[in-house]
Amino acid sequence: MHLTEQKITQTLESNYMPYAMSVIVSRAIPEIDGLKPSHRKLLYTMYKMGLLTGNRTKSANVVGQTMRLNPHGDMAIYETLVRLTRGYDALLLPLIDSKGNFGKQNSRDMAFAASRYTEVKLDKICQELFRDIDKDTVEFIDNYDGTTQEPMLLPAAFPHILVNPNQGIAVGMASNICSFNLREICETTIAYLEDEGVDIMKTLLAPDFSTGGQLIYKQNELREIYYTGRGSFKVRAKYRHDKKNSMLEIYEIPYTTTVEAIMDKILDLVKTGKIRDISDMRDETDLNGLKLTLEIKKSTDPDKLMNILYKLTPLMDTFSCNFNLLINGMPQVLGIKNILFEWSIFRTSCIKRQLQFDIGKKSEKLHLLMGLKKILLDIDKAIRIIRHTEKEADVIPNLMQGFEIDLLQAEYICEIRLRNLNKEYILKRTDEVDSLAKDIADMRDTLSNEKKVRKIIIAQLKEIAKQYGKERRTEIIEEEHVAEITHEHLIEDFNLRLFLTKQNYLKKISLVSLRAAAEHKLKDEDSMMQEIETSNKEEILFFSTKQAVYKMKIHEIPDCKASALGEYLPNLLGLDEDERIRYMVVANGYQGMILFSFENGKMTKVPLTAYETKTNRKKLANAYYGNSPLVDIRLLRDSDTDLVVTSNINKVLVFNTEAINAKATRDSQGVQVLLSKKGSIMVKVQALEQSELTNPQYYRNQNIPGTGKYLKKEDDKSAQLSLLDE
C-alpha cells in the first residue's frame, strides 16, 4: 500500500470542511422561512401533490414522492413528516393535518404507526407559507438530479421562524429556537415595521409551547434572549390536587421532557427514600390528553411536594435558546429584532417579486387588449382582411399591417371565436383597459414605495393573526410567585429514634418502622448506651473519647431497621483507631447546656451554642477538658436539675447543677464539686430520680464543693445484692 504525507490542515480543508459546510448549510440550521431543507422539500412536495386543498393521502405516498427532492431513506423522510403533524404535537402551529397514530412529543416510548397506515394533508396555515409562490416570489433551483425544480425558500407571509420551535446540531455549532404565540409575533412584527425602535417586550410576552406548562417569567433573562439570541428560561409542569382521592394530577409538562423521564426520576427518588409521600404512580394519558397521576398520603402538603418534585425531577426544566439561523447562506446568531429585520427584508423581496410578476402579467393582457381596441374601430375591415387572405400563414402579417399591431396582438385577435366578433364582446373586453392601466400604475407606485410595501405586509399579518391566532398555551407566572426551594426543603421530615451502642454502632430508625419491628439486633456483648427521639431535619453532635465533637445532619445518616446492626461510627465519622463516641446530642437550635464530670471531682457546664459554627465544619477539637478522665456527659436542655455524685469510697453528694456557673470556653476545667478524701475519685453521676436514695436530703450540700457522706446501708444496693446471694 502506497502512503503519501499530507498536512493535517490540508486534509481538514479538503475533506472535513466540505462535510461541515454541507451539514450547516444543507441540513441542520433553519433559514429565514423557519424551515430546514428536509422540511421544505417535504412541504413543497405535498403542495405540488395538491394536498393544500384536496383530501388526505397515505403518508407512504407523500414519502415516496418526496424522494424526488430529498435523496434519503423513507424512514428519515417519514420521521421529518411526523414531527410536523398535528397528531405529534411538537409544533405550536402544526403544518400537517394528520389522521392516525403519530406518537407524541411528550412521550419517549409511544411509537408512531407505519406510513402505510397514517394519512396526511397540508394544514390551512400552509396557505400563508406558500402564498403567491407561483408568482415568482422566490428563487427556484434544480433538484439533486436536475429533473425538476424546488424553491430555495418558501415565501412565508409571517415570521414562521419564531412561531414553531426548531432544533439542529451541525458541526461546530447548533441551533435551538423556541416557539412564540402566533398572535403575539404578528403584533410584534407589525409594531416593529411601524417603529424599529419599539420595545418588543411589550407585545411579545414570552415563549409559548405546544405542550403548555408554566413559564417562570424573569424579565432580565427574557430581555437577554430577545436582544442577543442566547439565554435560558425555566418551564414547569401544571397540576391539580384531587383532595377527595388524595391524588396529584399532572396534565401539562415542559416541552423539553417526556412523561417516561419524569416517571423514571420519581421512581428513583421513592426507591432511595428521598420522597416518602408518594404511594403509587400511574400514566393515565388517554384521548383527552396527558395525565400523570400520583397517589399521595392524606397528610401530605401537595404544594410542598410539587415544589420538591420541581426541584428534583424534569417536572421543571430549562430551555436553552440559541437563535442560530442561516441568512443568505451564512449562519448567524440573532436577537428577535434582528430576525424581524432579516424577515422583513426577505418578505419585502417576496412582495416586490410578486408585484413585478403581476405587473408583467397585467401589462401583457393590457397590450393584447390595446390591439383588440384597435379592431373596435373597424371590425368589418378585420373580417375583410381575413376573408380575402388566400394563405393561412398570411392572416397574421396582413392583420399586423392593416391595424398596425404587433405579432402577439395579431395572434390574440386570430384566436377569438367567430361568435365573439361582435361589438358588445369587444367593448366589454376593452373596458378592462382603463382598470388594467390603473392597476399597473398603482402597482408600479407601490413597487417604488417602501412604505406601501410595508403596509401590504402589515395588512397580511393582521389577516393572519385574526384568522389563525389562538390564545397562549403556556401560562406565564411571575418569579415572585414561585416558591424558592432550598436544600432544606428537599429533606423529608419524619420522626425517628437514634440508638447508640457501647461498641459504637448507630441505628437511625423511623418511628413507623420501629412500631412494626422485632427485637434489636446487636453484636455479641454489645448493649444500648443511649437513645434519642428526634426528626430527620435535625443536626446531631457526637462527643468522642479524644475531646472532639463530630457534627452531622441526621438526614445524611442512612436509615436502617431494628434487625440491622446499623452504621459503625468509627467508619462513618472517620475516627482515630483508639477513639470512640461517648455521647450524642441533638442540636435542636443549640438550646441548653452540656455538663461534663471528671474523675478529679470537677464539673464544667458549657452552653451548647459553643459548638455552633457558621460554616459546615464536621469536627471541632478541644470540645471539653482533657486533663482528667471523663466520668459523665449529660444534656441540660431546659433547666438545672438535682444530681447524685458518688466517689470510689462510697462518698455520696447530692446537689443542684444551678450551683455550677456556665463557662464560655469549651475546654474549661470547671469547678470543684466533690472533694477528694484519701485520694478518692469521682466514679459515678446520676439523676436524683434514678438513684433510689431513701433520704436524699441527708446527702445534700447547699454549697459546693463538698466531701459528701458515706452511703447508708439501706441505700447500698450492692450490699443488699450480696446478702441476697448468701
Report CA dihedral (451, 457, 461, 463) to the nearest 10 degrees: 100
Instruction: Over range 541-558, report the average pLDDT.
Output: 92
Q: Which of 16, 117, 144, 698 is catalytic?
A: 117
pLDDT at position 12 is: 79
Q: Both 125 and 145 in a single domain?
A: yes
Q: Is the peptide bond before 705 cis (omega within 30 degrees of 0)?
A: yes
Of the two residues 164 and 416, the one the predictor is more confident about is 164
DSSP 244-265: TTTEEEEEE--TT--HHHHHHH
Cell of 420: 365573439
Considering 154, 185, 217, which residue would you say is the last residue of a domain?
Answer: 154
Q: To which residue does cell 401530605 refer?
A: 300
Instruction: Over range 313-325, report the average pLDDT.
Output: 95
Q: Is the pLDDT of residue 192 over 90?
A: yes
Rounded Cα gap, residues 172 and 177, in angstroms: 17
Of the two residues 628 and 429, the one the predictor is more confident about is 628
DSSP 444-509: HHHHT-HHHHHHHHHHHHHHHHHHH----SSEEEEGGGSPP--HHHHSPP-EEEEEEETT-EEEEE
Instruction: Over range 454-481, report the average pLDDT.
Output: 94
Q: What is the CATH number of the domain that holds 115?
A: 3.90.199.10
Q: Both 599 and 722 in a single domain?
A: yes
Highest mean pLDDT: which range of 72-76, 79-83, 380-384:
79-83
The pLDDT tens digits of the residues spanning 627-658 come to 999 999 999 988 889 999 999 999 999 999 99
Q: Is the pLDDT of residue 483 over 80?
A: no
Q: Both 679 and 703 in a single domain?
A: yes
Q: To which residue does cell 418569579 refer?
A: 479
pLDDT at position 724 is: 36
**β pairing state of 292-296 and 278-283:** antiparallel
Q: Is the pLDDT of residue 605 over 60?
A: yes
In a domain, 442, yes or no: no
Determine how many CB atoms are found less than 10 A away from the CB of residue 671.
16
Q: Both 658 and 577 in a single domain?
A: no
The pLDDT tens digits of the residues spanning 96-147 come to 999 999 999 999 999 999 999 999 999 999 999 999 999 999 999 999 999 9
Q: Both 581 and 637 in a single domain?
A: no
Q: To which residue does cell 403581476 refer?
A: 358
Partners of 567 in the β-ladder: 506
- Cβ density class 338-350: b for 16+ within 10 Å, e for less: bbbebbbebbbbb
For 38, the domain range is 31-132+141-154
Percent of the chain with pLDDT over 70: 97
Rounded Cα gap, residues 707 and 709, in angstroms: 7
pLDDT at position 156 is: 96
- H/E element holding 75? helix 74-83
Write down the mean pLDDT value for the chain: 90
Q: Both 71 and 146 in a single domain?
A: yes
Instruction: Over range 186-209, report the average pLDDT.
Output: 95
- Burial classification of residue 665, based on how many CB atoms lie within 10 Å of its CB (0-12 exposed, 13-18 middle, 19 or more buried): exposed
In a domain, 163, yes or no: no
Considering 275, 296, 314, which residue would you say is the last residue of a domain?
Answer: 314
Instruction: Over range 345-360, report the average pLDDT.
Output: 96
Amino acid code (one letter) for 443: M
In a domain, 448, yes or no: no
Rounded Cα gap, residues 500 and 584, in angstroms: 8
Q: Is-contact 81 58, C-beta < 8 A?
A: no
Please state the domain count of the chain: 4
Rounded Cα gap, residues 601 and 129, in angstroms: 94
Cell of 26: 444543507
CA distances from 351 to 361, 438, 538 (A): 15, 19, 70
Q: Both 122 and 147 in a single domain?
A: yes
Rounded Cα gap, residues 710 and 696, in angstroms: 12
The answer to whether residue 117 is catalytic is yes
pLDDT at position 721 is: 44
Rounded Cα gap, residues 612 and 128, in angstroms: 69
Please state whether 70 falls in left (phi above 0), alpha (psi between -120 and 50) or beta: beta
In a domain, 561, yes or no: yes
In a domain, 409, yes or no: no
In a domain, 57, yes or no: yes
Instruction: Over range 423-436, report the average pLDDT.
Output: 80
DSSP 34-46: S--HHHHHHHHHH
Highest mean pLDDT: which range of 226-235, 365-374, 485-494:
226-235
Q: Which residues contact 381 (CB under 8 A, 6 or more apart)?
A: 402, 403
Considering 533, 553, 586, which residue would you say is the last residue of a domain?
Answer: 586
Rounded Cα gap, residues 62 and 119, in angstroms: 9
Q: Is the pLDDT of residue 718 over 70?
A: no
Lowest mean pLDDT across 18-32, 498-512, 589-603: 18-32
3-state secondary structure of 207: strand
Q: Both 637 and 508 in a single domain?
A: no
Q: Both 582 and 597 in a single domain?
A: no
pLDDT at position 725 is: 43
Lowest mean pLDDT across 41-55, 72-86, 368-382, 675-689: 368-382
In a domain, 175, yes or no: no
Q: Both 701 and 683 in a single domain?
A: yes
Q: Both 582 and 710 in a single domain?
A: no
Closest to 317 in 3D by CA, of 260, 254, 363: 254
State CA 582 to chain mean position distance: 48
> What are the residue ranges of helices labelled H in 277-431?
302-312, 336-376, 379-387, 395-403, 407-414, 423-430
- Burial classification of residue 652, based on how many CB atoms lie within 10 Å of its CB (0-12 exposed, 13-18 middle, 19 or more buried): buried
Instruction: Over range 445-457, report the average pLDDT.
Output: 94
Q: Both 35 and 148 in a single domain?
A: yes
- Burial classification of residue 18, based on how many CB atoms lie within 10 Å of its CB (0-12 exposed, 13-18 middle, 19 or more buried): exposed
Instruction: Over range 552-564, report the average pLDDT.
Output: 88
Cell of 32: 429565514
Rounded Cα gap, residues 66 and 62, in angstroms: 6
Q: What is the CATH number of the domain that holds 305?
A: 3.30.1360.40
Cell of 684: 459515678
Q: Is the pLDDT of residue 441 over 80?
A: yes
In a domain, 148, yes or no: yes
Q: To which residue does cell 393573526 refer?
A: 465
pLDDT at position 722 is: 45
Q: Which residues contact 403 (CB under 8 A, 6 or more apart)?
A: 371, 374, 375, 381, 382, 410
